[in-house]
Amino acid sequence: MAEYEHISPSPYATGLSGRCPRCGEGKLFDGFLKLRPRCAACGLDFAFADSADGPAVFIMLIAGFAVLGAALSVEIAYEPPIWVHLSIWRPLAVTVCLALLRPMKGLAVALQYSHKAEEGRREK
């Protein structure tokens, strides 16, 4: 009987759901954004993962584009006072950024694992 290679789960599914990129079972996060030291299910050490500020930068660009576009549309159509803009768009921007931050960080870690990304080193 032929041995079948273990098919690893999709990095998109595991990253966005906050699961281990190798087994898809264990939790990736310990708290809101802090990574666990290792997977409780398969023992994968998460020391390789360094998403840095990448997810936050992309989220700020996406959320800024969407929220600013919506605010501009409302301003052109209705011309509300500034306090209406502040009471609507500031909480929406914060909510969108916080809602996307954890899944995007998980995706960055899962893609690092699946592409075997490592820290850059200089040749000697």
Distance separating alpha carbons of residues 16 and 58, to the nearest angstrom: 15
SS3 20: coil
Per-residue pLDDT of the chain (124 residues; tens, 9 = 90+): 344 346 779 999 999 999 999 999 999 999 999 999 999 999 999 998 888 899 999 999 999 999 999 999 999 999 999 999 999 999 999 999 999 999 999 999 999 999 988 777 788 7
Length of the chain: 124
What pTM, to 2 d.p., does this model score? 0.85
What is the model's pLDDT at position 99?
A: 96
SS3 1: coil
Distance separating alpha carbons of residues 22 and 6, to the nearest angstrom: 10
Angle (nearest 5°) at CA 116 between 58 and 101: 25
Structure tokens at 102: 């954890």
Give which of 8, 31, 37 is closest to 113, Cα–Cα: 8
CB 27 within 8 A of CB 18: yes
CB 102 within 8 A of CB 29: yes
Distance separating alpha carbons of residues 22 and 9, to the nearest angstrom: 7
